[in-house]
Structure 1
Amino acid sequence: MNTVLVVEDSLSQRECVSQQLTWSGWNVIQASDGVEALRQIQNNSPDLVLLDLIIPRIDGYRVCRLIKANPHTQNIPVVLLTGKGQHLALSYGIKHAEAYVGKPWQPRELLDTLKRVLLDTKKEPQTASADAWTDYGILIFKIIQLYECRVQPWTEYGSEIIKLYEKALAAFEQALIIEPEHILANHYRLMAEKNWNSLQEKLEQSQPCKVCPYYHGTDGINCAVHPWGRPGEFCLDWELS
């Protein structure tokens, strides 16, 4: 039984497509945003990813690029789910994905597309080069910069930024294991390490929120998301930490 990861932020649409695929014999796992999608791919290695373009935290286009840039996941086929008015994003995204299905989708069209893509993209794993790992690390580094340009990035995206720095540095290390004198990998690793060390110094001057992955200052200002403490036994932010 093949496993498909369905990435869609709309609960109703995610459940609808998941039910259709389950009835057709697929093993289905789900994700509601880009960060969760990448975690599911790392933990479950699905045979195919059905990916909506407009999703929170990391959009579908960048998730697709990360999948295809990562030497460990580049052979996983991606089918994009696109709505009306997404033609510009699609023109970029289809360069990396294997196919796309428009919304509202027809069940038969969706199933036929997934089966065709799965048959057409059976590839043997290839040994990753230093260049491939370097390109993957650079892509992650660029996404980190997008996060850091946002207003109060550590308030909303602290845990994501930390994980992305760890992945970027790991990618550059993989490149340097293969080719120790790789100029670009060395350059970006030093840049990432410098930025990461600077951020760690800032974090040492802050305190983590007691109920979620966010931060507040040492002056005692509470976390803006949970100023009164943990909201309940099952807190989504707590579970994501």
Structure 2
Amino acid sequence: MVHKTILVVEDHQVSRDLVVELLTAAGYIVLEAEDGLGLIERVKRERPNLILMDLQLPRIDGFTLIRQLKADAETREIPVLAVTAYTQPEQKASALDAGCAYYLTKPLDTQAVLSVVARFLA
């Protein structure tokens, strides 16, 4: 089995722990970040296969980070999935416009998360 690496960007520890545990149990290598400071450089250095990004982060919001990742030739091909409590259609549209590949809302359906992750890493 080829081990794929996923970066989980989530500022709430309990939410991050849940996603990390779920993905680790499924056999993925999981990296964690609690905010977006230095995230672009870290992504370039560690080259995750997929990023799960909370949109409401301290210091730099997820929308801005997604736009930065998609504007950079070194990181634009890495799929970014929004994982957020934002449920309004305009927020979803903004995330997709920023370059998000998929939009998952909290509370998370763990089976849906695994299914979507597997699809993007196939």
Q: Give the TM-score, by structure 2 length.
A: 0.91
2:82 maps to: 80
- 1: CA distance, partners of 2:121 / 2:90: 26
In the TM superposition, residue 87 of structure 1 has moved relative to its aligned partner by 3.6
Matched letter for residue 104 of structure 2: V
SS in structure 2 opposite 1:73?
Answer: coil
- 1:97 corresponds to which residue? 100
> What is the distance in 1 between the residues matched to 2:89 and 2:28?
29
Task: Check 1:92–1:116 CA distance in 2 against 1; reply closer, same or farther (3 A cut).
Answer: same
Question: Unaligned 5+ residue runs, structure 2?
Answer: none
RMSD: 1.3
Give the corresponding residue for 1:116.
119
Q: 1:3 to 1:113 in 2, by over 3 A?
A: same
Tell me what 2:19 maps to.
Answer: 17
Report SS of the residue matched to 2:78.
coil
What is the alpha-carbon distance in structure 1 between the residues aligned to residue 53 and residue 74 of structure 2?
18
The 5 A counterparts of 1:188-227 are none
* 1:91-240 matched pairs, under 5 angstroms: 91-95=93-97, 96-119=99-122
Aligned-partner SS, 2:53 = strand
1:4 correspondence with 2:9 = no
Alpha-carbon offset, residue 97 of structure 1:
1.1
Q: 1:36 to 1:8 in 2, by over 3 A?
A: farther
Q: Which runs of 5+ in 1 are unaligned?
A: 120-241
Following superposition, the deviation at residue 35 of structure 1 comes to 1.4
What CA distance in whole angstroms lies between the structure 1 residues aligned with 2:100 and 2:44?
18
Q: What TM-score do the two structures reach when normalised by structure 1?
A: 0.47
SS of the equivalent of 2:83 reads strand
| Higher RCO (CA < 8 A, seq sep 6+) | 2
Q: Deviations over 1:37-79 (max 9, x none)?
A: 3232122010000000000111000111111110011100000
What is the percent sequence identity of the aligned residues?
34
Please list the CA deviations of residues 1-55 of structure 1 after superposition, one character each: whole Å capped at 9, or x if unmatched. 0000000000111011101100000000000111143232122010000000000
What is the CA–CA distance in structure 1 between the aligned matches of 2:87 and 2:102, rounded to whole Å? 17
* In structure 2, distance between residues paired with 1:22 and 1:3: 10
Q: Which has the higher helix share?
A: 1
The 3-state SS of whatever aligns with 2:31 is: strand
Query: Alignment length, in residue pairs?
Result: 119
Amino acid in the other structure paired with 1:104: P
1:56 counterpart residue number: 58
Bigger Cα Rg: 1
| 1:76 match: secondary structure | coil
